Structure 1
Amino acid sequence: MCHYIESICIEKGQILNLSFHNKRFNTTRKELFGSSSFVNLEDFINAETHFERTKCRVIYDQEIIDVSYQPYKLPSINCLSLVFDNEINYQYKSTDRNRINQLFDLRNDADDILIVKNGLVTDTSFCNIALWNGMEWETPAKPLLKGTRREQLLSNFTIKERNIYLEDIYTYNKIRLFNAMIQFGEIELMINKFTLKNTIHKNA
């Protein structure tokens, strides 16, 4: 049976971005399981003892199944491999990452992948993205997953949504990778032939 995940950042004893995690968690429970009761994740998380950046992993279906904690180290990402998959679907953050893992295995010597679906740039294997057009940061309007940090950045107008087609990607200067554990600006790459590599098709 497939379960669902909230990956939540704890730092200096504080749960970050809690309201957005609560919203996605309860929306998933309602849409997939018909659960109408509101559950506050804060009631299940022990944040006070974690001062370094820590990943809190909440696994759930109708109810919370498990809560675990792991120290988090920022990954080193210097280049991305472009991969194409028009069938991939990861609308809900689930434990079933088989399709994403298959695409990740195609990365060759790149550090991660950038997934293109139906001609549109989406996400990496574990991050949402935003691209700098010289004036503002734009994020794909159709990501694989609407991440909690993405929703927070949209809400405060740090980024804006746009359909980003593959053929337009080199009109941007920079790309940022971010998720619940990676703050906006911590991973940033210049866009050139060295950072975007290897166009590979999973299916057409």
Structure 2
Amino acid sequence: MYRVFETIKVVDGKPQNLFYHQKRINWTFHNYYKINPSFSIEKISAGLTFPDGINRLKIIYDPSNVEIQISPYNRKRVDYFYIVELDHLDYRFKYENRQILEQYCKADYGEPIFLINGFITDTTFSNLAFFDGHKWWTPSTYLLWGTKRELLIDSNKINVSEMRLSDLGCFKKFCLINSMNEVDEFSFRIDSIRY
């Protein structure tokens, strides 16, 4: 079995969104490792010292080991997007080995958007949200249950809807959401998607 990981945003020494990260850790232990969770990220992070600014806390784990990495956050460069159409892609768990996703990446700064059975899902490192001029919408289909996506849905900052490729013309822009990025913080014009 692969190890899995969590990436947690830390702002001026304060880890963000721990409730949802712990929820996903607990779910992963129950559904992937088939055992009860063995650690609390609140307890782990309380014993750590972070530099000022925005940092990335990466917790890599399996049932017998927890590894901690702290690094400054550097946003990934993305110049354009392209559609990858598949019938199936299983990335329910946040595997440390990301070859299942990265095999679809190109050598330049393009980023795939996965279309599974005709429905828009995610990129290799984020969930998606689309803006129609009034509201933000996230696809009801996704590869990975995102902690930030869940928080934004629960706080009514984004809405959920089925999305097909033909629906993209209804939107003005879209953004990448993950633990490190807020809604509309890492956004792009719709015509940056090539299809």
Normalising by structure 1, we get a TM-score of 0.88
- Where do 1:83-94 residues align within 5 Å? 83-94=84-95
Cα drift, residue 191 of structure 1 = 1.0
Once the two structures are superposed, what CA deviation does each residue of 1:61-90 show, in whole Å capped at 9, x if it has no partner?
224421111111123333211111222110
**Structure 2 CA distance for aligned equivalents of residues 5 and 136 of structure 1:** 31
Report the CA distance between 1:109 and its aligned residue. 5.0
> Unmatched 5+ residue regions in structure 2?
none
Q: Does 1:196 align with 2:193?
A: yes
After TM superposition, the structure 1 = structure 2 runs for residues 66-145 of structure 1, keeping only pairs within 5 Å, are 66-105=67-106, 110-145=109-144
- Opposite residue 110 of structure 2, the aligned amino acid is D
Residue 101 of structure 2 aligns to a residue whose secondary structure is: helix
Offset of 1:91 from its aligned partner?
Answer: 0.7
Look up the match of 2:22: 22
Distance 1:172 1:178 in 2: 16
Residue 34, structure 1, aligned to residue 53, structure 2: no
Structure 1 runs of 4+ aligned residues shifted over 3 Å read none
Structure 1 counterpart of 2:24, one-letter code: R
Matched residue, 2:6:
6
In structure 2, the residue matched to 1:170 is 169
Per the alignment, do residues 63 and 8 of structure 1 end up closer, same or farther by CA in structure 2, a change over 3 Å counting? Answer: farther
TM-score, normalised by the number of residues in structure 2: 0.92
Matched, 1:183 2:182: yes
Task: Give percent identity, aligned residues only.
Answer: 26
How far apart are the structure 2 equivalents of 1:162 and 1:47?
39
Three-state SS of the structure 1 residue aligned to 2:50 is: coil
**Which segment is superposed worse, 173-182 or 73-82?**
73-82
Distance 1:5 1:161 in 2: 26
Q: How many residues align?
A: 194
Q: Cα offset for 1:140?
A: 0.8
Q: Quick check: 1:22–1:39 contact (8 Å CA) kept in 2? A: no
Aligned with 1:104: secondary structure? coil
CA drift of 1:98 comes to 1.3
Given that residues 121 and 127 in structure 2 are in contact (C-alpha distance below 8 angstroms), is that contact kept between their aligned partners in structure 1?
yes
Structure 1 unaligned segments of length 5 or more: list them.
Answer: 200-204
RMSD after superposition:
1.7
Separation in 1, partners of 2:116, 2:109: 19
Structure 1 residues 181 and 63, CA, compared in 2 at 3 Å: closer, same or farther?
farther
